[in-house]
Chain A
Amino acid sequence: MSIPLNAAPGAELPKSGRLSRLRAGLALVVENRSALVGLVCVSLLLLVALFAPLIAPYEVDAFTDGVLEGPSWMHPFGIDQIGRDVFSRVVEGTRISLAVGLLAVTISLVAGTIIGLLAGYYGGMVDSVLMRAMDIVLALPYVLMAVLIAAILGPSLQNGIIAIGLVRIPRFARVVRGATMSVAQLQYVEAARSIGASDFRIILHEILPNILGPLIVYFTLSLGDAILAAAVLSFLGLGAQPPMPEWGAMLNEAQRYLTTHPFLSVFPGIFIFVTVLSFNLLGDGLRDVLDPKSRR
């Protein structure tokens, strides 16, 4: 199995200084239309998440006057089966989903980066053993991983996060391993060794900073996937449990009213979709900017 994400190490950004390089990078993002749309949407979602309590007109579990009412001016997304304002719950759900995605992908990022660095830098036996271990994880899709974890620890959002995080470790490890291998053969790594730098120092100072490009791209793309996965798990009852206003869990609850009150299933779904799409747009755009050699 080989993943076509062959990383471009140290994709060079234009000239001079950290700040102006950042500015140049931003300019590239802006030029790239899909990246721009993604950036704007992600920023909006972040704002919604940040100011959720100010935006939501009701408490997430407060009861309103009605039950199972369609969208209206007072309740733009309608009222659910026990009388809660769906709009407020969906807004609060933004917080949950973004946090869940970030936490899960951070698990994958940290573990996958460490494993990928070690495997790519040392090669040989270390590489074989680590990658074999990754093959084992790869044979378990996240739903099954979540099933296993839920069986032991019980179904919960937290365990769903662990499952999603675990499952993506091998993918990060592969991206990082590939990038590490191509950086490790560059002369500045050898130069660092020749002044006596330890392996740890070389990995930290010479290699890691030069594989950040592909890593950031993959991180962004993974955020969308992880948010999607979390919603799926909650929908299956393996993640967030009601009454938590997690989008997937809301869709699970709405399932029973699908034939009678389909509007309950519409808005949480749209939010998942738009959120994931935004991260994918941003990730695709970032890849064109930071990691032009690789294509999915």
Chain B
Amino acid sequence: MNDMSDKTPRAAQADGDLAVTGLSVSFPVRGGGLLPFLRGKERAAVRAVQDVTLAVRRGEMVGVAGESGSGKSTLARAFVQLQAPTGGRVTLGGQPVSSLDPLAFREQVQMVFQDPYNSLNPRRKVGTIITDSLVVHKRGTPAERRAQALEMLDRVHLTPAHFDRYPHELSGGQRQRVAIARALILNPKFLILDEPTSALDVSVQAKVIDLIQELERDLNLGSLFITHDLNLIGYLTDRVAVMYMGRIVESGAVETIWANPLHPYTRALMEATPSHKSVRGKTRALLKGEIPSNVNLPRGCAFHTRCPRRIPGICDTALPLPQTVEGRTVACHLYNDLPGAAPFAAGPGEEPAA
């Protein structure tokens, strides 16, 4: 990928932000062998994240919503450097993270995973799992680490008795508390949470959410909260980004968007969510139709195959560019002053030919 530094970042970045700019991640599709390569054809790829620009500030929680497969987890993994971007860059405090010492980065940015039944090593005790973060970062003596871990257990409302338990002896909610403790014991500035409650019982979810909110406030964290649950985003976060097929289609302050979603996809999502009565107009545009394949992306707006308001001849040819409308950013031709004037041709892939 070429250097993207000449592109002006679309979101203003304050110092200390954790941000991605023009981020793309694609996974080559396995198989096909050498032949297509020899024929000079482009290899097929899953375009999981495309040209995403998003910043998280300290003391702020940003929600990311979108259907399954829209690229939320991939975005999260790119934010914490578990996934190398195929385009764009990740910066911390304005510095490209690739120039940072990996441990120094991980000290500041931590992640909580979706499935607490899967994210804790079954062969290690809770205490070992939590102190391991400190061991890796060579912090403290064993006794100090233990003390710190016990303190951390207390912070996530577990007891010292849990220190010597194995994960399979804990409930789902307790496990997720351990996962949170593991992430926070390093004292990070940013926390990425990938559907941290979706694997939990409803009764437990609320408690874990309360804990996350409490910790976020106490520690002045900047966090990215990924979820399917729009209600949760409305309740918890300050800003929201709605993703569809790897792109952010609408983003801005939660109150603004929740009061009046502009993008047809955001509207559809909200209408599909039971407690959202606030949608203006009564068009029941529930999400219909199959999600297209993200290997062969639709031309133009990726949503046009399902969009109730698509403009024929425009939406299926030209990519809608993000622009500021009514105090938020939205990428939809409905709000484009010059329909069809998008400068680049549509089609899969924004990657410049190398």
Is the C-beta of A111 less than 8 angstroms from some C-beta in chain B? no
Is the C-beta of A205 less than 8 angstroms from some C-beta in chain B? yes
Is the C-beta of B279 less than 8 angstroms from some C-beta in chain A? no
Which of B102-110, B255-263, B298-306, B316-324 sits within the interface?
A: B102-110
Q: Which of A10, A195, A196 contacts B123 (CB 8 A)?
A: A10
Which of A69-77, A186-194, A231-239 sits within the interface?
A: A186-194
Is the C-beta of A47 less than 8 angstroms from some C-beta in chain B? no
Q: Are A10 and B186 in contact (CB under 8 A)?
A: no
Interface string of B177-190 (1 = CB under 8 A from A): 00100110010000
Q: Are A191 and B103 in contact (CB under 8 A)?
A: no
Q: Which of A10, A15, A187, A195 contacts B132 (CB 8 A)?
A: A195
Q: How large is the interface on B (under 10, 10 to 19, 20 to 34, 35 or more residues)?
A: 20 to 34
- Write out the residue numbers on chain B whose beta carbons fall within 8 Å of the beta carbon of A210: 121-123
Which chain A residue has the least Cβ–Cβ distance from B133? A195
B-contacting residues, A187-243, CB 8 Å: 187-188, 190-198, 201, 205-206, 209-210
Which chain B residue has the least Cβ–Cβ distance from A195? B133
With A187-B115, A205-B132 already in contact, the answer to whether A196 and B122 are too (CB < 8 A) is no
- For the complex, give the distance between the alpha carbons of A10 and B106 in Å: 28
Q: Are A187 and B169 in contact (CB under 8 A)?
A: no
- Write out the residue numbers on chain A whose beta carbons fall within 8 Å of the beta carbon of B113: 187, 190-191
Is the C-beta of B168 less than 8 angstroms from some C-beta in chain A? yes
- Write out the residue numbers on chain A whose beta carbons fall within 8 Å of the beta carbon of B120: 188, 191
Is the C-beta of A16 less than 8 angstroms from some C-beta in chain B? yes
With A191-B179, A197-B136 already in contact, the answer to whether A10 and B122 are too (CB < 8 A) is yes
Q: How far is the CB of A127 from chain B (nearest CB, A)?
A: 13
| Chain B CB within 10 Å, residue with most, of A10, A16, A188 | A188
Task: How many A-B residue pairs have C-beta atoms within 8 angstroms? Tell me.
Answer: 67
- For the complex, give the distance between the alpha carbons of A157 and B215 in Å: 65
- Write out the residue numbers on chain A whose beta carbons fall within 8 Å of the beta carbon of B166: 16
Is the C-beta of A12 less than 8 angstroms from some C-beta in chain B? yes
- Write out the residue numbers on chain B whose beta carbons fall within 8 Å of the beta carbon of A195: 106, 110, 132-133, 136-137, 182-183, 186
Q: Which of B82, B114, B115 contacts A194 (CB 8 A)?
A: B82
- Write out the residue numbers on chain B whose beta carbons fall within 8 Å of the beta carbon of A193: 82
- For the complex, give the distance between the alpha carbons of A192 and B107 in Å: 13
Q: Are A187 and B118 in contact (CB under 8 A)?
A: yes
| Chain B CB within 10 Å, residue with most, of A12, A15, A187, A191 | A191
B-contacting residues, A135-182, CB 8 Å: none
Is the C-beta of B124 less than 8 angstroms from some C-beta in chain A? yes
| Chain B CB within 10 Å, residue with most, of A12, A16, A192, A196 | A196
- Write out the residue numbers on chain A whose beta carbons fall within 8 Å of the beta carbon of B114: 187
- For the complex, give the distance between the alpha carbons of A196 and B182 in Å: 12
Can you sample 16 A-B contacts with CB below 8 Å?
A10-B122, A10-B123, A15-B168, A187-B114, A188-B118, A191-B120, A191-B179, A192-B132, A194-B111, A194-B183, A195-B110, A195-B136, A196-B133, A198-B136, A209-B123, A210-B123
B interface with A by C-beta (< 8 Å)? 77, 80, 82, 102-103, 106-107, 110-111, 113-115, 118-124, 132-133, 136-137, 166, 168-169, 179, 182-183, 186
